[in-house]
Amino acid sequence: MDYRKNPIVTVPMSVIIQMPEFKENPFKERIVASFSEDGEGNLTFNDFVDMFSVLCESAPRELKASYAFKIYDFNNDNFICKKDLELTLARLTKSELEEEEVVLVCDKVIEEADLDGDGKLSYADFEDMIAKSPDFLSTFHIRI
């Protein structure tokens, strides 16, 4: 590869998700894709540094919340809808919940966090929910 012709080098998602820090993370593909400028999950050096800056323990809550929202918004519609919550639960529980349990949990989350009553979580709804979660900062990080 001649780096003089194309000096921007990217690392593919398939390599990044094999890193020990990601190996067991159920959201590894979503995390990497959220930081990828090309939309394919390939990271430039700057993307890589940004990702680990946000995922370090000392990153500000607002920055972490912004990326957490992107990660959980599976359909990229700028809302976390019931389907997004179902996909999140499936990853967190390795699809071990019964369908009725998934529906119950998703309905309860929407009921408690949906401030404007539109049946989905906007970023403002999500941010309000995160602000009430004292564990968010300590759990939304990767140790390097």
Look at 28 and 134; give whichever has higher pLDDT.
Answer: 28
What average pLDDT does the segment 68-90 reach? 97
For the cut 70, the answer to whether the pLDDT of residue 60 exceeds it is yes
- 3 pLDDT band (50/70/90 cuts)? low
Q: Give CATH for domain 1-54.
A: 1.10.238.10
Same fold: 1-54 with 61-144 = yes
CA distance 38 to 48: 13
CA distance 95 to 15: 25
Q: Which strand (E) or helix (H) includes residue 107? A: helix 99-113
What average pLDDT does the segment 16-45 reach? 94
- At residue 39, the pLDDT reads 81
For the cut 80, the answer to whether the pLDDT of residue 129 exceeds it is yes
Dihedral sign for Cα atoms in the order 60, 63, 69, 72: negative
**What's the fold here for domain 61-144?**
Recoverin; domain 1 (1.10.238)
Of 52-56, 107-111, 137-141, the poorest mean pLDDT is in: 137-141
- 7 pLDDT band (50/70/90 cuts)? low
Backbone φ and ψ of 43, nearest 5°: -115, 135
Domain boundaries, the chain: 1-54, 61-144
pTM for the whole thing?
Answer: 0.89
